[in-house]
Amino acid sequence: MGRYPCCKVDEDLKKGPWTPDEDEKLMDYITKNGHTNWQLIPKKAGLNRCGKSCRLRWTNYLRPDIKRGAFSIEEEEIIINLHSLLGNKWSTIATHLPGRTDNEIKNFYNTHLRKKLLRLGIDPRTHKPISDLNFLINLSHQFTSKHNINHHLMNNNNNPLAYALRVQARVTELAKIQQLLQVLFAPINTNNPLSTNFATSSSHVITNNVATNTQFLDSLLVNSCGTIPNLDNSTSCISNSSELSNYQSELNSKVDNFEGLSNSSSKKHLDYNSFPSLIAPSSPDQADNAHVINQDYDPNTLSHLNHEGIDDSFWNDIFQ
DNA sequence: AAGACTCGCAACCGCCGAGCA
DNA sequence: CTGCTCGGCGGTTGCGAGTCT
């Protein structure tokens, strides 16, 4: 069974936007006669359109029960929740939103909700936290873009550019630390391909690795404290692994403030507790040349941290 | 002021499955 | 069972409006 055109190509049927006159003809006909056979409707209604075009015009625009206007917060939440469960089943999602068409929901999701989820660090396809640091780097770009420095920020900081640069520095700093975390904790992440070599390790070896890695991480953070700029004019500095979560929360808070989503109940935060495959740009400029670390883990050496595309300066920034 | 660029959305395209002869 | 038709669906396109430079 192949594909059959809904309309004969030699009929020279009209395409493109509908005129008010066409709308009125279609509306009148369907109101009086209903729609049982879309192929017959255009001829009977006096329209030089294909039946499919008439059906779409009716279902997406002329139908009397269509709800107009912006989507409410509740509708947004329903769409996001259903999309996370159903995927791109727009027609099914539309059945839960009376008055909204699948086309309208699809357009709304692709143009608004998709961007909103991305800004929150959520993959709009999987509804899971974005698994690499491109998001963070892009986020830092957005923060430094004058178009995205909103009034809220302007009102709370006399120098938005300086603030944006501080955030960018922090994001880059976090990117480095998170890459380290991935390498260090690879053995205990069973979903991580890096852990393949450890799949057969005994539990005490893994435990020891965790302990060693945690200690190493803490010492690393302590050592790096003096090299990380005092970004917020405070005396605080990440000095141990437990403070990292606070740091992440702070970053999340800044994201929320930028987005002005303080009263959105669908607010979601980045999940920094998973350590998926990461890219390793030391600066936003390197983001395009991102490389995934995929080497065997060796707890006794940092040589595995070396990787094509990552020069010494990347690690020197941390270890100096 | 005007051309370039971006964004949102209506409409179209192409594929698929159900139903029917 | 096969082939045809139709309706439905998701992906894509193109245009107009708004914004930027």
Count other Cβ atoms within 10 Å, centred on residue A182. 22
Closest nucleotide over all strands to A102 (CA to C1'): C9
CA of A87 to C1' of C8 (A): 17
Q: Which of A 17-46 have CB under 7 A of nucleic chain B? A: 17-18
CA A61 to C1' B4, whole Å: 32
pLDDT tens sequence for chain A (320 residues) = 323 345 554 457 888 888 888 888 898 888 888 888 888 888 888 888 888 889 888 988 888 888 878 889 889 999 998 998 888 889 889 988 988 998 999 999 988 898 888 878 888 888 887 655 555 555 555 544 433 433 333 333 444 444 444 444 455 455 555 555 554 444 444 343 333 333 333 233 333 333 334 443 344 333 333 333 333 333 333 334 444 444 444 444 443 333 333 333 333 333 333 322 222 222 333 333 333 223 333 333 333 333 333 333 333 333 33
- Residue ranges in A186-289 assigned as alpha helix (H): 203-225, 241-259
A180, A190, A199, A225, A277 from A195: Cα distances, Å? 15, 6, 6, 29, 12
Protein-to-nucleotide distance from the CA of A168 to the C1' of B11, whole angstroms:
42
Chain C nucleotides with an atom closer than 7 Å to a protein C-beta? 3-12, 15, 20
Asked whether residue A58, judged by its CB, lies under 7 Å from any atom of the DNA or RNA strand B, the reply is no
User: If you ran DSSP here, which 8-state letter would residue A77 be given?
Assistant: H
The span from the CA of A232 to the CA of A152, in Å, is 18
DSSP three-state, residue A23: helix
pTM over the 0.75 mark: no
The residue that minimises its CA distance to C1' of C5 is: A4
Task: Please give the Cα distance from A106 to A54 (Å, whole number).
Answer: 20
Nucleotide closest to residue A146 (CA–C1'): C20
- Give the span between the Cα atoms of A125 and A128, in whole angstroms: 8
**pLDDT tens-digit readout, A279-299:** 222 233 333 333 322 333 333
Please classify residue A2 by burial: count the beta carbons closer than 10 Å to its beta carbon, then call 0-12 exposed, 13-18 middle and 19+ buried: exposed
CA of A7 to C1' of C1 (A): 28
